[in-house]
Amino acid sequence: MASSFLLHHHLLRPVLLQIILLIISPTYAQTISHRHIISLRSSLTARTGQTTAWLSPSGDFAFGFRPLEGDGTHFLLAIWFDKIDSKTVVWCANGNTPVQPGATVVLAADGQLSLYDHGGQEVWNAEVNVTVTYAAMLNNGNFILASSDGSFRWQSFDHPSDTILPSQVLGVGKGLRSRLMDTNYSSGRFELSVGSDGNLTFYPVNIMTGYAYDPYWATNTTGNGSRILFNESTGTIYLALANSNIYFLPQRTYSVKDFYQRATLDFDGVFRRYIYPKNAKSTSAGWSTVGFQPPDICRNLTTKTGSGACGFNSYCISGGGNQSVDCVCPPDYSFQDPNRKYKGCMPDFAAQNCKGKFTLREMNNVDWPLSAYEHLSPIDEDRCKRECLGDCNCAVAIYQDDGQNCWKKRLPLSNGRMSDYVDRRAFVKVPKDSTNGKKKIVIVTTLVPMLLLLVCLGLFLWKKNRKQVPTLGIPITSSKESRGMDLELNLYDMFTIESATDNFSINNKLGEGGFGPVYKGRLDDGQEIAVKRLSTDSVQGLKEFKNEVMLIAKLQHKNLVRILGCCIQGEERMLIYEYMQNKSLDTFIFDKKQGALLNWRKRLDIIIGIARGLLYLHQDSRLTIIHRDLKASNILLDKDMNPKISDFGTARIFKADQNQEKTRMVIGTFGYMSPEYVIDGTFSVKSDVFSFGVLILEILTGKKNRMVHQSGYSMNLIGHVWRLWAEGRCVELFDEVMGCSYPISKLLRCIQVGLLCVQEGSKDRPKMAEVVLMLSNEGVALQEPKRPGFCIEGTPTEQNSSSWKQHSITPNEVTVTMLEGR
């Protein structure tokens, strides 16, 4: 019948002959009769209460205007299953910009397919620039624009939304993007794509910035020209590689004759394969899931910087036959937006101010991995709870039921999950009604650099008596909190260290730290170590510091270098640290060639890392620790260029409400020391902030903060930056080795933070907690910096020799000790 119709038509209108042919796609052959051809100059208009669409010959699929669920006034330009009640949408052109009644889709005379809103503005265009002579909605759900020879010039199958259909192929570089919510078709939080390397990956996307986090599921395959195939006769979906097929969903076949089928990257991040019986009675009709990936998104999806599968402060539960995902708030927390659960939860109560009375609510099998700021071990449950209740920062304590491990977590909580496999209990801190201030014990202690050695010394004597391989017996928890493993502080013997460092050979010397030279070594088991050989005159026999030593040994943060043990022999005292492959920051930023390895992103990461480490020292460990000698050469870099603060030889412990201390012995490095420290000998967390500010400026400019002489004037880096800042010329500052594609506003913001940190008045400088907030959150408004301390700005060289300026001119960068004679 069709052919006679064709012939008839041919006789009447020869021009159309070429159009009315078999339309053959590489994967799917079908006949389209003239009736179903959409000719040039055709159009559809969106109308309230009406569906306007072009149907496929079988009537299974429609292309046209689909009203949004629960909203009569907005339409999607979409393709949907037209014979089923739910009219499931499988493709849409304008999910981010639904249109209103009066909008039109036009196949223009030049073959352009465009969507115009009710005001006539173009919203979307298929962007075809070759000759198109007609369009058609095919029976397999593919909407095509074809040329007169029947070849497809554009097809919706090549531009998928969140769904693939039988016979559709998802080739290299193509992907699916989930929608935001079940009924909101805006670009959602997940993507799936086939990489050119043959790796199929699923990953979360930040909907605000478009930033893609690490994948939460991958086939880990390699191979050229890989693609996802959805076999149209069996309904199986697999990743086809050059010489193998990876079936990443259950292989069970469902005939396309009996079932409608689709596979969708759902708004919850799970890729599900669905079937819908074609001949079912209306009662049992509906999509059922016949396979999904990943196995458990709550478990698989862990982001280091994002919130995880659910929003911040919520937790994820998944299960059931279709692995449905739900996001839930902890007790006394509620959704930021109940209609947008993915946005996470907020506490119902005001932020803790350390005055209110709090209690803990217990939840079984719940954890927020990766967000701990302190790990305590070994510890019993009661103490774990008390630790959290007594700590303003603590929002949740997680206790592992092995009776060993307790983690303190602060807001925002991320990667939350609840499931049987989580062998941890969460204690969520919520307010109690009555109020009663908590007393604080105030102790001021001095951290002598050799504290650790004292314990070692004790052990050494003990070892002499026991003749056994000793350890300090101080369980130290690793910063890899999720593993919760305990480390022991080792006591190494001299022989081991001598052989590890090749008898302290000059070739193994890494540099000179605050209290002596540092050597690289390699233990028999292959572990690389850094050995710090301390000068011999500083040990004072102070047993009572043993407790503090234990605390110091417990300082564990990923941005602090880890101590492995110590070694004592006769007069020799050595500290053994983990070895950092990339040496110290100064070898990179002050070197043109090495500096090229650090792009702006890496540099910002390093700045943030140092800030976090310092914040930990200042307030997140249980003590307040002032480093006093923060400088580029004390920032070590591991193999991934993560910064680690080292050299606590000069550090001091403050407790509770002690704000500052005065010393007669000023220890530090010129160029990094704050004015009040150099001039008065007073130091506080704010003197470290000053040093950190100098570091920011150095990292971003690649220049040292020492005197530079320029045309008869001498100035330091701070002065130079301050002048350019005042003149609005900061862009000139950035180290050219960062490349030219850095985001200027981000870096300017960072410079501003640096300038805030080096302000002359210590009270004006922000605390590290504020610094971290300013650096990691672009929404936080920054103040205008006031004049910096030690700002030597174009001073004529010969003049002006107040004591500190003379010091600043000294070229060496080693730590100095000045005994102020006053």
Ligand X SMILES: *[C@@H]1O[C@H](CO)[C@@H](O)[C@H](O)[C@H]1NC(C)=O
Residues that bind ligand X (CB under 6 A): 68, 74, 98, 127-130, 180, 184, 186, 197, 199, 201, 215, 217-220, 222, 224, 229, 231, 233-234, 266, 289, 294-296, 299-300, 320, 322, 324
For the bound state, the minimum distance from the C-beta of residue 197 to ligand X, rounded and expressed in Å, comes to 5
The one-character DSSP state at 297 is H
Tell me the two tokens of residue 524: 């028999």
Q: For residue 668, is it left (φ>0), alpha (ψ between -120 and 50) or beta?
A: left
Give alpha helix (H) positions in 590-736. Answer: 592-595, 600-615, 675-680, 685-701, 717-726
Paired strand residues for 276? 260
Other Cβ atoms less than 10 A from the Cβ of 464: the count is: 8
Distances (CA, A) of 672 to 678, 757, 813: 10, 11, 10
Pairing of strands 134-137, 635-637: unpaired
Distance between CA atoms of 754 and 694, rounded to whole angstroms? 7
- Smaller CB separation from ligand X, 294 or 344: 294
The H or E element spanning position 384 is: helix 381-389
Minimal distance, residue 183 CB to ligand X, in Å: 8
Q: Do 637 and 643 contact (CB within 8 A), yes or no?
A: yes
> 340 or 383, CB closer to ligand X?
340
221 vs 599 by CB, closer to ligand X: 221
- Residue 99 region by backbone torsions, left for phi larger than 0, else alpha for psi between -120 and 50, else beta: beta
In contact, 603 and 738? CB cutoff 8 Å: yes
Joined tokens for residue 445:
């202690």
List Cα–Cα distances, 93 to 78, 165, 218, 757, in angstroms: 6, 17, 28, 49
Compare residues 256 and 673 and give the one whose CB is closer to ligand X: 256
Nearer to ligand X, 45 or 300 (CB): 300
**Beta carbon nearer to ligand X, 294 or 675:** 294
Residue whose C-alpha is closest to residue 169's, from 248, 223, 224, 239: 239
For the CB of residue 214, give the shortest distance to ligand X in the complex, in Å: 6
* C-alpha to C-alpha distance for 632 and 586, rounded to whole angstroms: 5
Tell me the three state secondary structure of residue 272. strand
Hey, what are 423's tokens? Answer: 């062998």
Closest CB to ligand X among 52 and 112? 112
Quickly tell me which residue has 């300038």 as its tokens. 755
- Distance in angstroms (rounded) separating the CA atoms of residues 649 and 817: 12
CB nearer ligand X, residue 180 or residue 653 = 180
Which CB atom, from 146 or from 666, has the smaller least distance to ligand X? 146
Active site residue 688: no
Angle at 218 between CA 214 and CA 224, to 5 degrees: 110
Query: Which one, 231 or 642, has the nearer CB to ligand X?
Result: 231
Where helices occur in 487-599 by DSSP H, the ranges are: 494-500, 546-553, 586-589, 592-595
Q: DSSP assignment, residue 707?
A: -
- Smallest gap from Cβ 609 to ligand X, in A, equals 22
Name the minimum Å distance from CB 777 to ligand X.
Answer: 21
Shortest spacing between CB 292 and ligand X, in angstroms: 9
Q: How far is the CB of 186 from ligand X (least distance, A)?
A: 4
First to last CA, the chain: 111
Q: Catalytic residue, from 629, 647, 688, 735: name it.
A: 629
From the CB of 314, what's the least distance to ligand X, in Å? 17
User: 229 vs 396, which CB is nearer to ligand X?
Assistant: 229
DSSP state letters, 566-596: EEEETTEEEEEEE--TT-BTHHHHT-HHHHT
Contacts 24+ apart (CB under 8 A), 232-235: 232/27, 232/28, 232/140, 232/166, 232/167, 232/256, 235/166, 235/259, 235/261, 235/275
Three-class secondary structure of residue 248 per DSSP: coil
Active site positions, annotated: 629
